[in-house]
Amino acid sequence: MNLSKFFKNAFLVMLACLVLSACATKKVQNQMQGDVYTGTETVEYLASGVPDRVFFATNESVLTTASRDTLRKQAEWLRKNSKINVVLEGHADERGTREYNLALGERRANAAKDYLMTYGISANRISVISYGKERPVDSGSNPLAWSKNRRSVTVKAN
C-alpha cells in the first residue's frame, strides 16, 4: 500500500525532526541560563583552570555566581603573577544602539574590575576598554550568539 507507506515515512521523518529539534533546544539550554551564556565554546584560558571571560544578561552588568567564581580564579592567578597587568575589554551584543552599548561595555568591564579589586588586585594593574557592539565573537543573529557577545574579557597587557 503506497499510501500507508507514505504515512509511515512521513511519521518517521516527523519523529526524526522532533528528536533533532529536542536535541537542538537542549543544547541551547545547556549553554544559557536565563539569557546568560554558560557554555565554554568561546572561552580561552589565562592559565590552566583560569577562564578569561565572564558573561552578562541583556542590558545588565551584574556579575553572576559563575562570573564571580571566574573572577576569583583570575584574582588568585594575578596575585601569583604580580608582574602581569591586564586589560578588561567590555562588550555588548548587537541589539542596542551604538553609543549606549559603548557605555554598557564600559560598565561591564568596570564591574569585573571592581570585583578583582575587592580580591586584592591593585587598580593600577587593571585598565579598562569598551568596544560596545564593535567586536562580536559570534556573528550570528540569534539569542545564543548575542549571549556569547555580552562579555568582559581579561587580556594580558604585557
Partner 1 sequence: MIKKIKLSIILLIIATAQSNALIEVDITRGNLDPLPIAVSPLSADKDTNEKLTKELKIDKVGQEISSVVENNLRNSGLFNPLNKDAFLQKPNIAHLKPRFEDWSLIKAQALITGKVTLKDEKLRVEFRLWDVLAGKEMMALAFTTVPSNWRRVGHIITDKVYERLTGEKGYFDTRIIYVAEEGPKTKRIKKLAIMDQDGSNTKYLTLGNELVLTPRFNPTNQMVTYLSYFRNLPRVYLLDIETGIQEVVGDFPGMTFAPRFSPDGKKIIMSFAMDGNSDIYTMNLENRIVERITNHPSIDTSPSYSPDGKFICFNSDRSGYQQIYVMKADGSKVKRISFGKGLYGTPVWSPRGDLIAFTKLHKGKFYIGVMRTDGSGERLLTENYYQEAPSWSPNGRVLIFYRETKTDSEGKGFSAKLWSIDLTGYNERMVNTESDASDPSWSSLLSN
Return residues touching partner 1 (CB under 8 A): 59, 61, 94-100, 102-104, 106-107, 109-111, 113-114, 128-131, 134-142, 145
Closest to partner 1 by CB, 78 or 109 = 109
How far apart are CB 106 and partner 1 at their closest, in Å?
4
CA distance 66 to 29: 16
Minimum separation from the CB atom of position 73 to partner 1 (A): 22
In whole angstroms, the minimum distance from the beta carbon of 122 to partner 1 comes to 15
Q: 47 or 103: whose CB is closer to partner 1?
A: 103
> Minimum CB separation from partner 1 for residue 17, in Å?
16
| Cα–Cα distance for residue pair 74/117, rounded to 1 Å | 11
Report how far residue 114's alpha carbon sits from residue 141's, in angstroms, rounded to the nearest whole number: 31
Instruction: Write down the number of H helices and E strands in the chain.
Output: 4, 8
**Is 82:110 a contact under the CB 8 Å cutoff?**
no
Specify the residue, 50 or 101, whose C-beta has the smaller distance to partner 1: 101
CA distance 118 to 100: 27
Q: Residue 130: which residues within 8 A CB-CB, separation 6 or more?
A: 89, 90, 91, 102, 103, 104, 105, 106, 108, 109
For residues 50 and 52, which CB has a smaller minimum distance to partner 1 in the complex? 52
